[in-house]
Amino acid sequence: MKHLASRLLQWRSALGFLFRMSDWQVMLLWSIPAGLLGALATELFRSALYGLDHLVLGQGGSLVAIARNLPIWMRILVPTVGGLLAGGLLLFVNARGQGRLPAHTDYMDATVLGDGRIPSRPSLVRSLSSMVSIASGGSIGREGSMVQLAALSASWLGQVLHFPVERLRLLVACGAAAGITAAYSAPIAGTFFVAEVVLGSMAMESLGPIMVASVVANITMREFPGYQPPYVMPAFPAVAGVEVLLFALLGVLIGGGAALFLRGLGGSRRLFARLPLALPWRLALGGLVVGLISAAWPEVWGNGYSVVNSVLHASWPVRLLLALLLAKALATLATVGSGAVGGVFTPALFFGCLVGELFGQGAQALWPGATSAPFAYAIVGMGAFLASSTQAPLMAVLMIFEMTMSYQVMLPLMAASVVAYFVARSANAGSMYDITLRRQVQRDEQRRLRTLHVRDLVQPAQTVVPLDAGLEAMSRLFLQHPVKYLYVTDERARYRGVVPLKRLSAAEGVAGLEGKRAADLLSDEIRPLSADMGLAEALQRFMEHQGERLPVIDDPTSPVLLGVVHKSALLATYVRLSE
C-alpha cells in the first residue's frame, strides 16, 4: 500500500511539472479515477446485497418478489431479525466511538463542514448495517450507502495523494456524484445533485470535475454484464398547453404531500428516540412494523423499484394504489424513524409515482379523452415529489429527463416540480437532507444580517449624565465604569455631547472649579451614530474612533440618545456574515 501511494504521488508530481497544470486542470484528471472507484464501490455494494439475499433467503432479485414467495410468519420475522442485527452493528460503531460517531462521518458533512476525510471503519460498518436492513426488507433506499461508499473511495484516494483540504473536499464530491450516477444511471442529475444539494454552488471550478466523475461512472457501469437502469420508462406522450395546468395542480398536491412526509419523518424519529429501548431493539421494532404491514402488502419491502416499474406499465386499481401508498408510508416512517441507515431518495420517487398515478386516473375519469395516460402523471409526480422533498428542483427535473430521454416531459415536469418545491418550502417542511436545512438557515440568517441597521445593535447606555451633573457625580460614574467618556443629555433626553475623562481630571483639585457642571466640560469630539445608519457606514465611523463604543441617536434632527453600539457587536455581525 505504501509503495502504491508513493507511486501515485510521483505520478501526481510528474504530471504537474511536465504539463504545468493548474489546480483545476489537475482536478479534472483526478476526477476520472474518483468516478471509476465510485462506480466500482456502488456495484460491489449492489452485488453484495443480492448475494446476501440469496445466501440467507435462498433467492435473489426483487425484494417484493422475495417477500411474496415467503410465508407470512417469515415476512414478519425477517425484517425484525434484520433490524436487530443492523442495530447491533450500529451499536458496535457507537461503542467504538465512545457513544457517538466520529465527526463528519457522512460524506455531505465531510465535503461541506469537514476536511474531506471520511473515517473508514464507521462508514464500512454503517454500510454493512444498511445492507442488512435493506436485504431483510427494510423500507429504505440503498442509494445512501452506495453514495457513501463511493465518496469514501474518493476520500481514500485523496488522502493517499495528500491532497490539501479544498481539493480533497472536491474529490469527495466527485465520488458522491459518481455514486448517484451509478445508482440511477443519470450522470447529469448526479452532477447537479452534488452541486445543488451538497455544495450549494454551480461554480465551474467544482462543476467540471464533478461532471467528469459522473460521466466516467456512467460509462463504467454500462460495462458491467447485465446492467440496466433501475427504472424502465414508457414513451412520454405529447402534452397540450391547457393540460399543463393539471400538472401544475398535481404539483400543489405533491408539494403538500411531501411536506406531510417530511414532518412525518421528523415525528417518527422523535417518537422512536423517546422509547426506553436500546438501538438494536428500536430497529427490531421498526422491522416488526414493516413485517406486520408486509403480511398483507409484501410490496412494502425494499425501495420499491419493481412496484414503480409495474405501475408505469400497467394500470393498478385505485383502492390498491391508495392502500399501498399508506402502507409504504408507514413502513418507511418506521424504518427511518427507528434509526436504520439508508436513503429516502428512492422512496420519494415511489410516493411521487403513486400519487401521480392516482391523480392521472382521477383526471381521466373526469375528462376522458382530453388528458394524457395516468403513467404520464406518475412520471411527473416522481420528479415533483423529489424536487419538493430534497428542495432541489433543478436536479429533480434533470433526473426525470435523463430517465425518460424525452423532451415532451420537460414542460409538465418543470411546472409540477417548481410548484411542488414552493408549496413544500412555504410549509416550512425542510428537506430530507440536514445539510440543505443548515444551508437554508445560514442563508436566511445572512439575509437578515444584511438588512440590519445600527438600531438593531443598540444596547442601553449606562454612562449618561444630565447637563447639571456635578464633578462628584461624574467622578463616581467614571470609577464605576472603565470608560473615557460620559454622554450628556438635556431634560428631553437629547444628546448634547460628551465629558471626556481627561477634562474632568484636569478640573478636579483646581481652586474655583468645584462648582463646574457637565455643561461646562462638554466636548463634541465624539460623532454619534444614527439609528438608521447601515453597518458599513457605522464600521467606517468606528475606524475613525479608537474606542470600543459609540453613542446612537434617533436622528440628527431629533438627537434623542437611544443607547450605545459596541464595536465587538458590530464585528461579530460581520463575522457571521462572512461565515
How confident is the model at residue 578, as a pLDDT?
65
Residue 69 lies in a domain: no
How confident is the model at residue 100, as a pLDDT?
47
Compute the distance between CA of residue 388 and CA of residue 199 in angstroms, rounded to an integer. 18
Q: Of 278, 283, 291, whose CA–CA distance to 336 is shortest?
A: 283
Q: At what angle do helices 345-366 and 318-338 cross, to 10 degrees?
A: 160
Compute the distance between CA of residue 311 and CA of residue 358 in angstroms, rounded to an integer. 10
Residue 84 lies in a domain: no
Is the pLDDT at 40 greater than 90? The verdict is: yes
**Domain range spanning residue 481?**
454-578
Is the pLDDT at 98 greater than 50? The verdict is: no
Whether residues 263 and 298 share a domain: the answer is yes
How confident is the model at residue 99, as a pLDDT?
45
Is the pLDDT at 64 greater than 60? The verdict is: yes
Whether residues 338 and 475 share a domain: the answer is no
Residue 348 lies in a domain: yes
How confident is the model at residue 8, as a pLDDT?
55
Is the pLDDT at 106 greater than 60? The verdict is: yes
Is the pLDDT at 66 greater than 50? The verdict is: yes
Its pTM stands at: 0.76
What does DSSP say about strands 464-466 and 495-500: parallel, antiparallel, or unpaired?
Answer: unpaired
Q: Which residues pair with 534 in a beta bridge?
A: 453
Whether residues 135 and 27 share a domain: the answer is yes
Average model confidence (pLDDT) for the chain?
A: 84
Average pLDDT, stretch 368-372? Answer: 82
Would you tell me how many other CB atoms lie within 10 Å of the CB of residue 557? 6
Residue 72 lies in a domain: no
Whether residues 462 and 564 share a domain: the answer is yes
Average pLDDT, stretch 470-489? Answer: 86
Using a 10 angstrom Cβ sphere, with 0-12 exposed, 13-18 middle and 19 or more buried, the burial of residue 334 is buried
Residue 91 lies in a domain: no
Which among 449, 478, 502 is the end of a domain?
A: 449
Average pLDDT, stretch 42-55? Answer: 84
Q: How far is CA 201 from CA 107, 404, 575, in A?
A: 16, 26, 21
Whether residues 529 and 443 share a domain: the answer is no
Q: Which residues pair with 487 in a beta bridge?
A: 464, 498
**183 contacts 147 by C-beta, under 8 angstroms:** yes
Q: In this predicted model, what pLDDT tens digit does every residue of 238-276 receive, in sequence order?
A: 887 788 899 999 999 999 999 999 999 989 999 999 999
Compute the distance between CA of residue 77 and CA of residue 57 in angstroms, rounded to an integer. 12
Of 107-111, 301-305, 373-377, 435-439, give the lowest mean pLDDT range.
435-439
Q: Of 86, 350, 118, 326, whose CA–CA distance to 230 is shortest?
A: 350
How confident is the model at residue 361, as a pLDDT?
94
Query: To the nearest 5 percent, what fractions of the chain are helix, strand and coil?
Result: 70, 5, 25
Instruction: Band the pLDDT of 428: cuts 50, 70, 90.
Output: confident
Whether residues 280 and 410 share a domain: the answer is yes
Any idea what the CATH number is for the domain that residue 293 is in? 1.10.3080.10
Which among 406, 429, 449 is the end of a domain?
A: 449
Average pLDDT, stretch 180-195? Answer: 87
Average pLDDT, stretch 119-132? Answer: 87
Residue 393 lies in a domain: yes
Whether residues 433 and 354 share a domain: the answer is yes
Whether residues 311 and 340 share a domain: the answer is yes
Number of domains forming the structure of the chain? 3
Compute the distance between CA of residue 72 and CA of residue 276 in angstroms, rounded to an integer. 29
Whether residues 333 and 290 share a domain: the answer is yes
Q: Which residues pair with 108 in a beta bridge?
A: none
Average pLDDT, stretch 450-467? Answer: 84
Residue 93 lies in a domain: no
Instruction: Band the pLDDT of 470: cuts 50, 70, 90.
Output: confident
Whether residues 212 and 259 share a domain: the answer is no
Any idea what the CATH number is for the domain that residue 566 is in? 3.10.580.10
How confident is the model at residue 141, as a pLDDT?
83
Is the pLDDT at 140 greater than 70? The verdict is: yes
Which position has the grid cell 465512545? Answer: 98
Average pLDDT, stretch 21-43? Answer: 82
Residue 70 lies in a domain: no
Average pLDDT, stretch 131-151? Answer: 87
Identify which has the larger pLDDT, 319 or 121.
319
Whether residues 435 and 375 share a domain: the answer is yes
Of 119-128, 446-455, 541-550, 556-565, give the lowest mean pLDDT range.
446-455
Whether residues 141 and 165 share a domain: the answer is yes
Would you tell me how many other CB atoms lie within 10 Å of the CB of residue 173? 30
Compute the distance between CA of residue 405 and CA of residue 408 in angstroms, rounded to an integer. 9
Give every CB contact of residue 572 below 8 A, 6+ residues apart in sequence.
none
Q: At what angle do helices 165-184 and 23-57 cross, to 10 degrees?
A: 40
